[in-house]
């Protein structure tokens, strides 16, 4: 089955901005913090906000204290005033595009115009907009309702920002012909327009469309309407549990889109479930292969094999032999650290990859045994290689073990940076450094006892490649990481800058091994390893263009690059030296 995902699926600018403002609120504003009405229609997000002490306030109390955030839909001005009078500090997270419509209505209401809002009467945005119209605000959900309204002397027509563009076009045509003196404003948000246009185009390319998002969410309902009107089978689901996978497994191509308040991890969960749909029907090698692929990823065995592949390539770049002990150390160290990281700090997995979170909960003890045995095995082999490699691996293992632990007491850390994990961007840099040391520096130290420019050049290549891989996975997990307060590099830099940095790093990485080979700092293998960053860049661009979905396949492809590096190293060695 081929799954195409809409580029516009997921949080729009206004919702993302509101979510970020709410998550930052405990650090910036006086507590307790609450939102006026649920921030988005997603019980998991609301549950997590509650865990962080951010509650939902549904009505204005007689008196209160702390901070109230107004969500992206906005509220009537009277509600804002009422909250202030009750004693709250009010932080306005209303989307700037909704504020524009509120301003249009407020200005015209002051001049005596009637305001006609085309939208759903009970939708919070419409309730808020009507509040700006004073006594002369009217709501029409359909053309018929508009036709039944009295003919006003002067009036404006605006649309709810998530209104169906076709309906609004029909309304504009009718109003221009029958109420030419009305002022009509184009207030449908371009994010909504693009989303609806894309789902129409997507529907023409696929056999069925799945729309992900809250059943209460107006813009998700409209996407579903557009998908259904395309004539293709359309399904509106809030979670992956509502998918009829046996039924959906029949389709060859499925399009996935999502409403503006649907978090990325919700879309990912649906995509993962769809990805597995064809394998429910087929038995045999394809199903076994899929399970094997997922199993290797969940247990981190595949990523550990990747460390072995990278170690093999790094050793041959440096002209070193005796891969076995060093490769085994790299495999066991990476396996142990990645398992421990998921076992002790997997809170973000609940959102980014709930299947993984469940797997780690279910097989906690066998996985913990694997992690400890792997770590001990790696240290044992390193000891055989010498005191220096053993000491280096021990320090790296202790650093890895303490990554999720509170090292500094709150009075020294200010309550924020008590763990290494709390240092912004630390995960990305530490993983890259640890992989670089274990795959490149340790074999060099064991074999030659020195650290020359050749080793440093290869270290720059291996650690930068792992850096790029980690930034890419962090980019995929941004929303879940942000919710649990993880400050990964993409969160610190922002999505666009992190993506630019990733692409620039990969372009530079294409040149690095070839240059080091050309100037004699590494063996001729460097000329062939240019393929690795090029291939990773291709996967990233294909993902950006929606050609590869987030899920097991993408993860498997991204992790395969290090194994490919090892394979290229193996072929090169066999051809050039006649030995593996």
**DSSP-assigned beta bridge partners for residue 487:** none
CB of 97 to ligand SF4, least distance (A): 4
Alpha-carbon gap, residue 506 to 497, rounded angstroms: 14
CB of 576 to ligand SF4, least distance (A): 57
Interface with ligand SF4 (CB under 6 A), residue total: 14
Alpha-carbon gap, residue 220 to 225, rounded angstroms: 9
CB of 254 to ligand SF4, least distance (A): 24
Q: Which residue, 100 or 287, is less far from ligand SF4 as judged by CB?
A: 100
Nearest to 421, CA basis, from 429, 410, 433, 432: 429
> According to CB under 6 A, which residues from 67 to 86 bind ligand SF4?
72
Q: Which stretch in 10-18, 52-60, 437-445, 558-566 sits in contact with ligand SF4 by CB under 6 A? A: 10-18
CB of 457 to ligand SF4, least distance (A): 47
| Neighbouring residues of 151: CB distance < 8 A, sequence distance ≥ 6 | 179
Q: Tell me which of 191, 262, 341, 455 binds ligand SF4, using CB under 6 A.
A: 191
CB of 501 to ligand SF4, least distance (A): 26
Q: How far is CA 281 from the centre of its chain?
A: 30
Alpha-carbon gap, residue 6 to 195, rounded angstroms: 8
Task: Please name the residue that has the structure tokens 């780690």.
Answer: 360
Task: Please name the residue that has the structure tokens 């700090």.
Answer: 345
Q: Which stretch in 140-148, 174-182, 189-197, 569-577 sits in contact with ligand SF4 by CB under 6 A? A: 189-197
Q: Report, as residue numbers or ranges, the catalytic residues.
A: 125
Question: Are 335 and 301 a contacting pair, CB within 8 Å?
Answer: yes
Nearest to 533, CA basis, from 496, 500, 502: 502
| 97 binds ligand SF4 per the rule CB under 6 A | yes
CB of 12 to ligand SF4, least distance (A): 3
Q: Which residue, 186 or 247, is less far from ligand SF4 as judged by CB?
A: 186
Question: What tokens appear for 93 in the block?
Answer: 């997270």
Q: Which residue, 14 or 389, is less far from ligand SF4 as judged by CB?
A: 14
Stretch (H or E) spanning 3: strand 2-5
Question: What tokens appear for 246 in the block?
Answer: 């046996």
Count the neighbouring beta carbons within 10 Å of the beta carbon of residue 121. 12
Bond into 418 cis (ω within 30): no
> According to CB under 6 A, which residues from 156 to 175 bind ligand SF4?
161-162
Count the neighbouring beta carbons within 10 Å of the beta carbon of residue 553. 16
Q: Which residue, 29 or 100, is less far from ligand SF4 as judged by CB?
A: 100
CB of 242 to ligand SF4, least distance (A): 24
Q: Tell me which of 165, 192, 257, 488 binds ligand SF4, using CB under 6 A.
A: 192
Q: Which stretch in 188-196, 376-384, 395-403, 522-530 sits in contact with ligand SF4 by CB under 6 A? A: 188-196
Nearest to ligand SF4 by Cβ — which residue? Answer: 14
Alpha-carbon gap, residue 485 to 381, rounded angstroms: 37
Q: Tell me which of 48, 54, 95, 568 binds ligand SF4, using CB under 6 A.
A: 95
Q: Give me the phi and psi of 3, to 5 degrees please.
A: -115, 125
> According to CB under 6 A, which residues from 220 to 279 bind ligand SF4?
260
Q: Which stretch in 92-100, 284-292, 399-407, 546-554 sits in contact with ligand SF4 by CB under 6 A? A: 92-100
Q: Which residue, 223 or 540, is less far from ligand SF4 as judged by CB?
A: 223
Q: Tell me which of 12, 22, 243, 540 binds ligand SF4, using CB under 6 A.
A: 12
Q: Tell me which of 3, 5, 15, 202 binds ligand SF4, using CB under 6 A.
A: 15
Range 66-80 burial, b when 16+ CB lie within 10 A, else e: bbbbbbbbbbbeebb
| 197 binds ligand SF4 per the rule CB under 6 A | no
Reported residue count of the chain is 580
Pairing of strands 114-118, 89-92: unpaired
Pairing of strands 253-258, 183-184: unpaired
Residue 61 DSSP class: -
Q: Which residue, 13 or 420, is less far from ligand SF4 as judged by CB?
A: 13
CB of 121 to ligand SF4, least distance (A): 18
Which residue ranges make up the site for ligand SF4 (CB under 6 A)?
12-15, 72, 95, 97-98, 161-162, 189, 191-192, 260
């Amino acid at each position: 089955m081929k799954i195409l995902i809409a580029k516009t699926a997921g949080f729009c600018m206004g919702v993302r901005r509101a979510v970020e403002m709410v998550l930052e609120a405990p650090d910036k504003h006086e507590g307790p913090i609450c939102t006026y009405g649920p921030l988005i229609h997603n019980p998991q997000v609301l549950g997590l906000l509650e865990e962080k002490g951010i509650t939902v306030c549904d009505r204005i109390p007689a008196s209160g204290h702390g901070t109230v955030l107004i969500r992206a839909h906005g509220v009537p001005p009277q509600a804002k005033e009422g909250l202030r009078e009750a004693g709250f500090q009010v932080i306005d997270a209303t989307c700037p595009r909704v504020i524009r419509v509120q301003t249009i209505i407020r200005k015209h209401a002051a001049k005596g115009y009637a305001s006609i809002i085309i939208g759903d009467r009970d939708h919070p945005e419409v309730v808020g907009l009507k509040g700006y119209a004073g006594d002369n605000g009217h709501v029409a959900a359909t053309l018929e309702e508009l036709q039944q309204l009295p003919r006003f002397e002067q009036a404006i027509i605006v649309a709810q920002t998530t209104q169906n563009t076709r309906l609004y076009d029909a309304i504009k045509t009718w109003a221009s012909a029958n109420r030419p003196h009305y002022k009509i404003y184009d207030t449908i948000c371009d994010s909504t327009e693009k989303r609806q246009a894309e789902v129409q185009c997507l529907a023409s390319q696929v056999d069925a469309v799945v729309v992900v998002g809250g059943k209460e969410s107006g813009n998700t309902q409209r996407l579903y309407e557009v998908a259904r009107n395309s004539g293709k089978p359309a399904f509106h689901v809030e979670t992956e549990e509502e998918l009829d996978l046996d039924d959906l497994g029949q389709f060859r191509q499925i399009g996935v889109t999502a409403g503006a308040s649907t978090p990325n991890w919700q879309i990912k969960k649906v995509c993962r479930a769809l990805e597995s749909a064809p394998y429910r029907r087929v038995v045999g090698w394809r199903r076994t292969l899929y399970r094997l692929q997922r199993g290797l990823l969940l247990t981190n065995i595949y990523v550990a094999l990747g460390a072995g592949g990278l170690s093999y390539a790094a050793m041959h770049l440096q002209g070193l032999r005796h891969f076995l002990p060093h490769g085994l150390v790299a495999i066991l160290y990476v396996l142990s650290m990645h398992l421990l990281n998921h076992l002790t700090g997997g809170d973000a997995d609940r959102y980014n990859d709930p299947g993984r979170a469940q797997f780690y909960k279910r097989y906690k003890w066998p996985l913990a045994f694997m992690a400890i045995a792997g770590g001990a095995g790696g240290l044992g082999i390193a000891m055989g290689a010498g005191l220096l490699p053993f000491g280096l691996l021990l320090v790296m293992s202790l650093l890895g073990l303490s990554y999720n632990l509170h090292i500094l007491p709150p009075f020294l850390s200010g309550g924020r940076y008590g763990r290494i994990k709390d240092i912004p961007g630390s995960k990305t840099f530490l993983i890259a450094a640890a992989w670089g040391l274990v795959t490149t520096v340790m074999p060099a130290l064991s074999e030659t006892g020195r650290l020359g420019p050749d080793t440093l050049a290869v270290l720059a290549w291996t650690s930068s490649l792992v850096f790029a891989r980690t930034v890419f996975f962090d980019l995929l997990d941004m929303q879940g990481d942000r919710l649990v307060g993880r400050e990964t590099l993409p969160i610190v830099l922002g999505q666009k800058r992190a993506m630019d940095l990733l692409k620039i790093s990969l372009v530079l990485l294409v040149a690095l091994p070839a240059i080091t080979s050309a100037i004699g700092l590494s063996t001729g293998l460097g000329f062939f390893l240019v393929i690795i960053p090029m291939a990773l860049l291709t996967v990233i661009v294909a993902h950006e263009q929606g050609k590869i979905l987030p899920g097991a396949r993408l993860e498997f492809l991204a992790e395969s690059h290090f194994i490919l590096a090892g394979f290229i190293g193996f072929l090169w060695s066999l051809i050039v030296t006649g030995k593996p």
